[in-house]
A and B are shown apart, each in its own frame.
Chain A
Amino acid sequence: MTLPATITDEVRPDGDRAPVIVVEGLTKRYGEIEAVRGIDFTVARGETFGFLGPNGAGKTTTIKILCTLANATSGSARVAGFDSATQRDSVRRNIGLVFQDPTLDTYLTASQNLRFHGELYGVPATALGPRMRQVLEMVGLWERKDDLVSTFSGGMQRRLEIARGLLHAPHVLFLDEPTVGLDPQTRSSIWSYINELKRREDVTIFLTTHYMDEAENCDRIAIIDNGTIVALDTPEALKASVGKDRVQIQTADDDAAIASLASTFGLTAGLSEGAVTFAVAAGEQFVPRLFAELGVPIRSVSVSRPSLDDVFMSYTGKTIRDAEASSSQAMRQMVRMHGRR
């Protein structure tokens, strides 16, 4: 009973599987502040779904509602087949959580932390030992299992939290800013562990991040700004939607090349990082024409896709850094106004 691939299958990598998360018209209001403004999306089983946006965009609020830690003002969210407002325990049994802030008992050892979690989630006693070993090996902490968590570095603690979140074999693993506060090297090591667990576990991952480069690890990304989803697609499609690629060429005569680009192709080029740089749609297809018609010898060419930074910029009209600055300013203002009353 194989059905011909449909267009939706291209949008959803696992189109033949039932969605694990279904969100409809979700709204969350804190007093006058509307943190989430009526968002809709679905996450397919096995997918890695990223929520990308600046701090204060509504990412954590959404994750809290999905995880039953907050009530939506209106709208609904279903996780692993259960309603996150009315079937809290069922949702909780089927999800793993890694919060932004650490939630380990640092006075206990790594394995004591895991055992505590396993007992609390009712993991069958016979499965608990082997499963603990499995998740600890997955994050490379098996050798340190009897060490106090207080002796762990920030990255190790985060890895232990990821292992703990997986211990009860949840259907969905929520990672709220899994790499926040870690140095770049540790961040990339965390990601290699996350990619490893995607390979080994049958788990859907829902994560939030404000790092553009990390969002590239996702199958699909929802860009959220000011409580609304402004774009939702695969990283590739999002970048393609920006349209233009970045082309950099090294030539024998840069000035002549710039002049020729303007006269022959009508492109505005400039010098950047010691190379003639310009933006053009479908850069790879443009390269053969470039060689044929430029009239200036080319020594090297590089074509790069737009980054997610460019994507965020094209959808919101600002860089993620600008958005963060303005939202924290708005937050401060809000606090000040409330404080005065």
Chain B
Amino acid sequence: MATQTALPATQGELADSIRVAVPERGLRHDARAVGVVWRRELIRFRTDRLRAVTSLVQPILFLFVLGTGLSSLASRGMPHGLSFKTFIYPGVLAMSVLFTAIFSAASIVWDREFGFLREILVAPVSRGSIVIGKCLGGATIATFQGVIFLALAGFAHVPYNPELIAILVGELLLLSFTLTAFGVMMAARIKQFQAFMALTQMLVLPLFFLSGALYPLNGLPTWLTALTRIDPITYIVGPMRHAVFAHLAIPGVEQHLLAPSITWAGWAVPQWMALGIVAVMGASMMGVAIIEFRKTE
């Protein structure tokens, strides 16, 4: 890596000063910037234990209160031995990362208000590496949040199968990344903290409700079918539920009924494609965020 200083350092008189040559911008430097922005998110999350606890409250309410309360009603539609809690578990698992991921981007708005964003934006690194670091950081802490909720799988009669857990963690990571990218994209534009919180709050619940997290995607009225298909969360809840049901001992017919493939006008979207849609959306929202941040200052 080439190091360059515009002016030669004076030797001798500053013998006690450690000479530091800041390198030309390069891939390694950008990678370090990604790393340090990512690490800051983790440090902030670690010191903020209250946030970790409070963001678990909502999914726990959904799973145990709503799930238990509705189970007597919903069990009529369930095959024998399958709990309603098990049915909604994948969707609620997705929800457990929803808030953490989007709100991790709120720290950008926060940083802007408290001046720290300026320190980041004047650094001689590409804006891209800052945005990537932020997205990966948010994705990591949100996934970590999801993993805590994943530990409760037994209470919803979801087996602790290593393969299933690996698949679910991977899908949580993908979802968290896309959601953080969405949040970062919004944070590039929205300068007020209150406005950011209000807007994301307004978006989060509809995204959750339209994703089919709490009901199967077949047999819905046309208007609701259309809405569920444009909700990006649908394309991750589908594969997550598919993975969970594949590891349950229930007949194939029932599986099809309760965990149907996502269809576009009758055509079943393959699992890989559903996941691909989420990944592409995440990447493109991150791209928009990078462009937005390049424009500022």
- State which of A81, A107, A123, A130 has its C-beta within 8 Å of the C-beta of B22: A123
- Contacts of A80-119 to chain B: CB distance below 8 A: 80-82, 89-90, 92-94, 97, 99, 101-108, 112, 115-117, 119
Q: With A93-B124, A103-B115, A120-B123 as given contacts, are A134 and B18 in contact (CB-CB < 8 Å)?
A: yes
A169 with B115: CB separation less than 8 A:
no
- Size of the A side of the interface (Cβ < 8 Å), in residues, is 46
A94 with B22: CB separation less than 8 A:
yes
A201 with B118: CB separation less than 8 A:
no
B22 with A69: CB separation less than 8 A:
no
Interface membership of chain B positions 7-39, coded 1 if the CB is closer than 8 angstroms to chain A and 0 otherwise: 101100110111111111100010011011100
Given the complex, which residues of B lie within 8 Å of A164, measured CB to CB? 119
A84, chain B: closest CB distance, angstroms: 12
B16 with A200: CB separation less than 8 A:
yes
A200 with B17: CB separation less than 8 A:
yes
Q: With A69-B122, A117-B119 as given contacts, are A122 and B6 in contact (CB-CB < 8 Å)?
A: no
Stretch of B40-48, B90-98, B191-199 contacting A (4+ beta carbons < 8 Å): B40-48
B7 with A120: CB separation less than 8 A:
no
Given the complex, which residues of A lie within 8 Å of B297, measured CB to CB? 69
Residue of A nearest to B28 (CB): A122
Given the complex, which residues of B lie within 8 Å of A222, measured CB to CB? none
In the complex, what distance in Å separates the CA atom of A169 from the CA atom of B48? 33
Interface presence of B116 (CB below 8 A): yes
Interface presence of A131 (CB below 8 A): yes
A124 with B20: CB separation less than 8 A:
yes
Interface presence of A45 (CB below 8 A): yes
Q: With A80-B6, A97-B122, A112-B43 as given contacts, are A120 and B19 in contact (CB-CB < 8 Å)?
A: no
In the complex, what distance in Å separates the CA atom of A122 from the CA atom of B123? 10
Given the complex, which residues of B lie within 8 Å of A123, measured CB to CB? 20, 22
Given the complex, which residues of B lie within 8 Å of A108, measured CB to CB? 40, 43-44
Given the complex, which residues of A lie within 8 Å of B13, measured CB to CB? 202
B36 with A120: CB separation less than 8 A:
yes
Given the complex, which residues of A lie within 8 Å of B257, measured CB to CB? none
Residue of A nearest to B133 (CB): A120
Interface presence of B114 (CB below 8 A): yes
Interface presence of A171 (CB below 8 A): yes
Residue of A nearest to B10 (CB): A202
Given the complex, which residues of A lie within 8 Å of B5, measured CB to CB? 94, 171
In the complex, what distance in Å separates the CA atom of A97 from the CA atom of B14? 21
Residue of B nearest to A79 (CB): B6
Given the complex, which residues of B lie within 8 Å of A231, measured CB to CB? none
Given the complex, which residues of B lie within 8 Å of A180, measured CB to CB? none
Given the complex, which residues of A lie within 8 Å of B281, measured CB to CB? none
Interface presence of A267 (CB below 8 A): no
Given the complex, which residues of B lie within 8 Å of A202, measured CB to CB? 9-10, 13-14, 17
B20 with A81: CB separation less than 8 A:
no
A119 with B32: CB separation less than 8 A:
yes
Q: How many A-B pairs fall under 8 Å by CB? A: 114
A262, chain B: closest CB distance, angstroms: 55
B7 with A81: CB separation less than 8 A:
yes
Q: With A89-B25, A103-B115, A200-B16 as given contacts, are A122 and B40 in contact (CB-CB < 8 Å)?
A: no
In the complex, what distance in Å separates the CA atom of A89 from the CA atom of B32? 16
Interface presence of A331 (CB below 8 A): no
Interface presence of A210 (CB below 8 A): no
Interface presence of B120 (CB below 8 A): yes
Residue of B nearest to A90 (CB): B6
Residue of A nearest to B16 (CB): A200
Residue of A nearest to B36 (CB): A119
B18 with A131: CB separation less than 8 A:
yes
Interface presence of B125 (CB below 8 A): yes
Given the complex, which residues of B lie within 8 Å of A20, measured CB to CB? 7
In the complex, what distance in Å separates the CA atom of A233 from the CA atom of B35? 46
Interface presence of A286 (CB below 8 A): no
In the complex, what distance in Å separates the CA atom of A122 from the CA atom of B13? 25
Residue of A nearest to B14 (CB): A202
B138, chain A: closest CB distance, angstroms: 16
A116 with B16: CB separation less than 8 A:
no
B114 with A45: CB separation less than 8 A:
no
Given the complex, which residues of B lie within 8 Å of A158, measured CB to CB? none
Interface membership of chain B positions 30-73, coded 1 if the CB is closer than 8 angstroms to chain A and 0 otherwise: 00110111001001100110000000000000000000000000
B276, chain A: closest CB distance, angstroms: 33
Residue of A nearest to B124 (CB): A92
A120 with B125: CB separation less than 8 A:
yes
In the complex, what distance in Å separates the CA atom of A164 from the CA atom of B18? 14
A26, chain B: closest CB distance, angstroms: 19
A264, chain B: closest CB distance, angstroms: 53
B44 with A99: CB separation less than 8 A:
no
Interface presence of A127 (CB below 8 A): yes
Given the complex, which residues of A lie within 8 Å of B123, measured CB to CB? 92, 117, 120-121
In the complex, what distance in Å separates the CA atom of A50 from the CA atom of B8? 24
Given the complex, which residues of A lie within 8 Å of B33, measured CB to CB? 119-120, 122
Interface presence of A230 (CB below 8 A): no
B170, chain A: closest CB distance, angstroms: 28
Q: With A94-B6, A107-B47, A171-B7 as given contacts, are A201 and B17 in contact (CB-CB < 8 Å)?
A: yes
Q: Which 3 A-B residue pairs are closest in the complex by CB-CB distance?
A: A119-B36, A81-B6, A169-B20
> 6 additional contacts, CB 8 Å, given A120-B123, A169-B17?
A90-B124, A106-B114, A116-B36, A117-B123, A131-B20, A164-B119
Query: Residues of B at under 8 Å CB distance from A?
Result: 5-7, 9-10, 13-14, 16-25, 29, 32-33, 35-37, 40, 43-44, 47-48, 111, 114-116, 118-120, 122-125, 297
What are 13 A-B contacts defined by CB distance under 8 Å?
A18-B7, A45-B7, A92-B122, A93-B24, A93-B124, A105-B114, A105-B116, A112-B40, A120-B37, A122-B32, A127-B18, A168-B20, A171-B7
